[in-house]
Chain A
């Protein structure tokens, strides 16, 4: 089945820097979701996007649902050490939900 291409695979940034990651697919999705996973825990939903072109913020996080419905991006502004973790995108259509392989974020104080 189709997979989501998430990039970059990993990022090493300095505290205070902005972060951007994205997810692309060859297929259309009706919903895009962004999750964060910390060691030993399950993914936690950060942002859900339901309409093409939608731009949604959650604190320092901003995500957009691409116009083509085949991509989405997540930005984190002014990163802090607790932003460390793996960020996953997920695309949802009908009864099919696909996840990206994740972006591992490391923030150096």
Chain B
């Protein structure tokens, strides 16, 4: 009964390095999302996917790329990490958009030095 699982939980990067955050869900949800959470602010949507093979930009997409090759996985990539990308990243999934509530993972805390 895992729900939404994010890996890794913590990571420290140097400016300019690249990395990929993995999100996996076992609820057969069509929709998946990546958010970032910064102190004093609400979650902001980076990218989302409405189904396998599809992705779309959210509110703050710059500097990130995503892929949804399998329905259960949603990957968030940072090609060249910047200190401004230091944040806690949350993945979520839902059956659909609109009135469908989202289920969140426990987050990945990422620090860029």
Contacts and interface: CB of A to CB of B under 8 A. Distances in A.
Chain B: number of interface residues, binned into ranges:
20 to 34
B99 interface: yes
Nearest to B9: A40
A78 interface: no
B90 A101 contact: no
B106 A42 contact: yes
B106 A40 contact: yes
A99 B99 contact: no
Contacts, number: 54
A90 B100 CA distance: 12
A72 to B, nearest CB: 14
B39 to A, nearest CB: 9
Which secondary structure characterizes the binding site on chain B?
loop
A73 interface: no
Contact of B92 (A1, A4, A42): A42
Given A1-B59, A101-B40, A44 B104 contact: yes
Given A31-B98, A31-B99, A48-B99, 14 more contacts: A1-B59, A4-B42, A40-B107, A42-B92, A42-B106, A42-B107, A50-B99, A88-B42, A95-B97, A97-B45, A97-B102, A99-B44, A100-B42, A101-B42
12 contacts: A33-B101, A40-B107, A41-B106, A42-B104, A43-B43, A43-B104, A90-B43, A92-B98, A92-B99, A95-B56, A99-B44, A100-B42
